[in-house]
Structure 1
Amino acid sequence: MNTMKRTIRRDELRKMVPLADSTIYEMERNGKFPKRFNLTSRCVVWDYDEVVAWIEARKEAANDVEKAPGPDVHQRKTRPTKKAA
């Protein structure tokens, strides 16, 4: 039984992965994002399952990342002022 793979175009990819095109292309070149491929000379697509797997892997990696501590507000020399509207 041959199952058809779902593909997504750039507009759907942008909805799933809110990164700039240049960031996605850079990550593709570095092997850190699923590679796109051409269906025709004018139609570029990504494999949906590969993109979903990448997102899930990022979620898992995010759970393992230690967050940077916030700034120590007690070390401020001045208080920030609110600008008049």
Structure 2
Amino acid sequence: MRTIRRSQLKEIVPLSDTTIYEMEQRGEFPRRFNLTPRCVVWDLAEVEAWIEQQRNASSAGRTQLSNAPDVRLRKARPVKSDQE
């Protein structure tokens, strides 16, 4: 088994720390584990398998978008004025 640290993970998966953490909590990304109390790592094989799964899902058109609100459905968008 080969493990990678956070800096190496960020080179492979261009997601923010917060996004990775939230995806781990939802079970959508491989879980990190501690080698020592101060050393957090991921299993490289699990990360590579996740990337391949995302690639296959994208190719098949099954990629899920986040549950973010659709900004196109807003009734109005507040605009800041320079005088406030």
Asked if these proteins are the same fold (TM beyond 0.5), I'd say: yes
Q: Which runs of 5+ in 1 are unaligned?
A: 67-85
Runs (4+) off by over 2 Å: none
Deviations 1:41-69 (A, max 9, x none): 00000000000000000000000117xxx
How big is the alpha-carbon RMSD for the aligned residues of Structure 1 and Structure 2?
Answer: 1.0
CA distance in 2, matches of 1:12, 1:53: 16
How many residues get paired? 62
User: TM-score normalised to the size of structure 2?
Assistant: 0.72
- What residue is the counterpart of 1:59 in the other structure? 55
Could you say which structure has the larger radius of gyration? Answer: 1
- What residue is the counterpart of 1:44 in the other structure? 40
- Decide which of 13, 25, 40 is 2:21's aligned counterpart: 25
Identity among equivalent pairs (%): 60
Q: Amino acid of the residue matched to residue 50 of structure 2? A: W
Q: In the TM superposition, what are the counterparts of 1:6-17 in structure 2 within 5 Å? A: 6-17=2-13
Q: Which runs of 5+ in 2 are unaligned?
A: 63-84
User: TM-score normalised to the size of structure 1?
Assistant: 0.71
CA distance in 2, matches of 1:63, 1:50: 20
